[in-house]
Amino acid sequence: MRIYLFMATMIFRGLFATAQNTPFPGQPATGPGGAEYLHRSVAFYDAATTADGFWLFEPADPKPDSAEVVVFMHGYGAYNPLAYGKWIKHLVAKGNIVIYPRYQKNLLMPRPDAFPANAAKGIQDALALLRSGDHVRPKTDKVAYFGHSYGGVITANLGVNWKKYGIPKPTAMLLCEPGSGPLKGARLESYERLDPALKLLIIVGEDDYVVGHEFGKLVFETATKTPKRNLIVQRHDTDGHRWVLATHSEPYSYDIDFDTGVRNYTTRRVFQSSRLNEVDFNCYWKLGDALIEYTRYGRYEDVAFGNTDKQRYLGQWANGKMMRQLDVILPEALAAPEKEAVGAAVGK
């Protein structure tokens, strides 16, 4: 009964332009993170009136018969998809369906322990909708899961418990500034039960004073049966005129096209701190694209993994000088006696 109820109340938000004739300033024209787009529009559906609802973004113009799926788990309070709108547009224009579970009703309800179940219900219902009517049919054998902040905690939980919740098995997982701050709900003591075949990237910001680096390190250090994993540290830099920051807000890239009207503490922080720059194009978008491409098609492994020049590259200043590169920590660094160096590397 529930599926018919939410389908009947589905709000069609419209078609929005996604691709440009030229890249955003600073965006590479090609490759992971680049502006090689397959679709010019996004079909945006709102089925998120409840805490276990979802928003859905499908590629259009041209509309494909089927598409791969990215589950995008927002940070605490970011249940207005405008917060990551430009990144969502980028993913959809590349040919992905994006499912954006709500998982919380407001900043106080429900308790964080309920977040994984709510998110899973949103994923299930979104996939059921996609398999009906005139929607783009979802391909679910290689689903990628992206999560920012508390969304990273939920994503990691679902990565361990996907069978329990009846959702597609994660084959790729990108955790962006993951953490729960003072809250503990949905956290696990260990992530040893993540699938051995999972491809996992964890990105933390040098100056993340909201959730810090503790949870990202926990997942990296305890996912011992998942060898294809890297911990990446993004650091601040300046050329004396411009700054590249490394805060908790770096994954935000707001877009008014996807504004649902929600205004809360998180939305205000998004408006105040969101920047579209090299940290988006050459860190989050690049690594997310490369992770997806490698997992699905075996391409761009040297961009997604391995502490390579291509993985570490963040961009160049106007004077041609290289921006401070990403630091990459490989699983081998956890072997004694180097293990203590991981904490030092993240915090340096």
| pLDDT tens by residue, 40-85 | 999 999 999 999 999 999 999 999 999 999 999 999 999 999 999 9
Q: How high is the pLDDT of residue 274?
A: 95
Q: What is the mean pLDDT of residues 298-307?
A: 98
Q: How high is the pLDDT of residue 5?
A: 32
Percent of the chain with pLDDT over 70: 90
The burial of 339, by beta-carbon neighbours within 10 Å (0-12 exposed, 13-18 middle, 19 or more buried), is given as exposed
What distance in Å separates the CA atoms of residue 291 and residue 94, rounded to the nearest whole number?
14
- Helix axis angle for 115-130 and 150-165, nearest 10°, is 70
pLDDT digits (tens, 9 = 90+) for 87-123: 999 999 999 999 999 999 998 999 999 999 999 999 9
The burial of 36, by beta-carbon neighbours within 10 Å (0-12 exposed, 13-18 middle, 19 or more buried), is given as middle
Q: What is the mean pLDDT of residues 236-263?
A: 96
Q: Which of the four pLDDT bands, split at 50, 70 and 90, describes residue 346?
A: confident
- Preceding amide of 196 cis, omega within 30: no
Query: First-to-last CA distance in the chain?
Result: 54
Given a contact cutoff of 8 angstroms between Cβ atoms, the answer to whether 117 and 155 are in contact is no
Alpha-carbon Rg for the chain in angstroms: 19
| Helix %, strand %, coil % of the chain (to 5) | 35, 20, 45
- For residue 4, pLDDT over 50 is answered with no
Q: How high is the pLDDT of residue 7?
A: 35
- For residue 20, pLDDT over 70 is answered with no
Place of tokens 């690594």: 287
Could you give the maximum distance between any two Cα atoms of the chain, in Å? Answer: 61
Q: What is the mean pLDDT of residues 253-267?
A: 94
Q: How high is the pLDDT of residue 3?
A: 40
Q: Which of the four pLDDT bands, split at 50, 70 and 90, describes residue 342?
A: low
Q: Which of 29, 11, 9, 10 is nearest to 19 (CA)?
A: 29
| Residues in the chain, total | 348
- For residue 14, pLDDT over 70 is answered with no
Given a contact cutoff of 8 angstroms between Cβ atoms, the answer to whether 150 and 115 are in contact is yes
- For residue 174, pLDDT over 90 is answered with yes
Q: What is the mean pLDDT of residues 149-154?
A: 98
Q: Which residue has the higher pLDDT, 13 or 282?
A: 282
What distance in Å separates the CA atoms of residue 346 and residue 348, rounded to the nearest whole number?
6
Q: Which of the four pLDDT bands, split at 50, 70 and 90, describes residue 259?
A: very high
Q: How high is the pLDDT of residue 315?
A: 96
Q: Which SS3 state, helix, strand or coil, does residue 197 take? A: coil
- Preceding amide of 116 cis, omega within 30: no
What distance in Å separates the CA atoms of residue 100 and residue 229, rounded to the nearest whole number?
24
Q: Which domains are present in the chain?
A: 2-347 (3.40.50.1820)
Amino acid, res. 281: F
